[in-house]
Each structure stands twice: as structure tokens, then as C-alpha cells.
Amino acid sequence: MSERKSIDLLVEGGAATAGPPIGPALGPLGVNVPAVVEAINRETKDYAGMRVPVKITVDVTTKQFEVKVGTPTTSALVVKELGVAKGSGKAGTEPAGNLTLEQVVKIARIKREKSWAGSLKNVVKEVLGSCVSIGVTVENKDPREVIREVDEGQHGELFEA
């Protein structure tokens, strides 16, 4: 019976290295660290510039490994979609940027798999809530106004599968 060890890390998408925290965590397990780093970078390249949760499971006997990649936070996805360094330091008074509703739906589709929300419409509302927190407008409106519009049945065509 083989023993399996799991390591949970946060790495920069597409830019993992054999240095800390990966190398020191995997070194004692005797696994091929460069191969693990290569696998992580291949799996996280779409999240370049964002911190991504990664779970590495190693079979200590055979030295085989498996890399599972999570999704970045909603705020990180919003900031990346905007192309800014970070959200507004003064949410509510100084917007960090403006998203289209299509961009919000795109982020919601990425987050849907990990969300407890029952529908894409509800995941969109979660993303809009994050927009409120980091000071991002949507369609040049306060995201709370867009949430009300979604609740009233507007924009339904965007939530079709």
C-alpha cells in the first residue's frame, strides 16, 4: 500500500520555480521537482500574474505526482480583466475601472465550478458583489444597481448556457 502526501501552495500562475515554497516542500519526498514545476506552470499559464491555489499529491513510494489547480479569487480575476494592478483604495468614491456585463459573465463562468450558487445568474451576482468591494463599476453603474437589474429579470440573455 502506497503512502500519499498532499501539499497545498499558492503560486504565481505560469511562473512557479523550484525555489521556495515548492522545492523545500517537495525535496524531502524525493519527487522530481523540475517535472512538478513544469506541470504547475503548464496548468497555470492562463492565470499569469495571479496567485493560484495548487494542490500537489505525491505517491511517496512510486514518486508519481498529481497537480490540481484551483481558481484565483474573484477579485484577482476582476483585476486581471480590467488590466489594472489592484482594486480601488477608495471603493464607492473612486472606481478602479469599469467592466462590461459580458466580462462579468466571463468571470462568473470561470468561478462557477467552485461556487455554491445554483445558477450562472447567481454566480454573476457574486462577481458583482466583489466588484462593489474592490471599487469597480459595471456598465458605468454601481454594481448594486446591476444586481437589482439582474434580480428584476434584465440581461437574461447573458445567462443562457
Phi and psi at residue 107, in whole multiples of 5°?
Answer: -65, -40
| Degrees to nearest 5, angle at CA 60 with 50 and 19 | 35
Q: State whether residue 19 is helix, strand or coil.
A: coil
Mean pLDDT of 116-122: 86
Please answer whether residues 32 and 38 qualify as being in contact, where contact means their C-beta atoms are separated by less than 8 angstroms. Answer: no
Q: Out of 16, 40, 69, pick the residue that ends a domain.
A: 69
Owning domain of residue 65: 4-69
| pLDDT given at position 59 | 92
Please report, as a single letter, which amino acid is at residue 121: K
H/E segment holding residue 136: strand 136-138
Do 87 and 149 sit in the same domain of this protein? yes
Q: How far, in Å, CA of 84 to CA of 42, rounded?
A: 24
Model confidence over 7-53: pLDDT tens digits? 999 898 899 999 888 989 888 888 999 999 999 999 999 888 888 89
| pLDDT given at position 71 | 86
Mean pLDDT of 101-107: 93
Residue 144 has pLDDT above 80, yes or no: yes
pTM attached to this predicted model: 0.74
Do 49 and 85 sit in the same domain of this protein? no
